[in-house]
Copies of this chain bind each other. A is one copy, B any other.
């Protein structure tokens, strides 16, 4: 489950940052669009559908701030755009299935990498602290065609 607004505001305040109008609007946009995987620019456009407008630099700054606070994670799909999505309330990351035909993004919540990470620790002596995993392929609908 993604972080709720109250948790995010708490994290901000706890770290000594102010809750300003622009910041709140970025946070709300993140929550509302949490399943859409918007780029920074798309998020910016979405926010500015309502007045007063806020600056693009502020959106970037706020997202970087939230990233520092581990409130959001960065998602890079390889198309040159950074995307940010709300972190999970548990510390389990989720993974993405990218359909190369229709472009849809499916989220996989399962934590199926624990076993692998143990193996990397055992066989390679590598201590895993995080991972980025993306699968490319065809979603169910596209595969049928």
- Chain B residue nearest to A126 (CB atoms) is B97
Tell which of B97, B106, B117, B135 touches A135, judged by Cβ atoms closer than 8 Å: B117
Selecting from A10-18, A24-32, A136-144, the interface stretch reads: A136-144
Asked whether, in the complex, the Cβ of A129 is within 8 Å of the Cβ of B136, the reply is yes
Which residues of chain B are near A134, meaning CB under 8 Å?
131-133
Q: What is the size category of the interface that chain A forms with chain B?
A: 20 to 34
Asked whether, in the complex, the Cβ of B120 is within 8 Å of the Cβ of A108, the reply is yes
Asked whether, in the complex, the Cβ of A125 is within 8 Å of the Cβ of B139, the reply is yes
Which residues of chain B are near A128, meaning CB under 8 Å?
97, 135-137
In the bound complex, CA of A106 to CA of B123 (Å): 12
Q: Is A52 an interface residue (CB 8 A)?
A: no
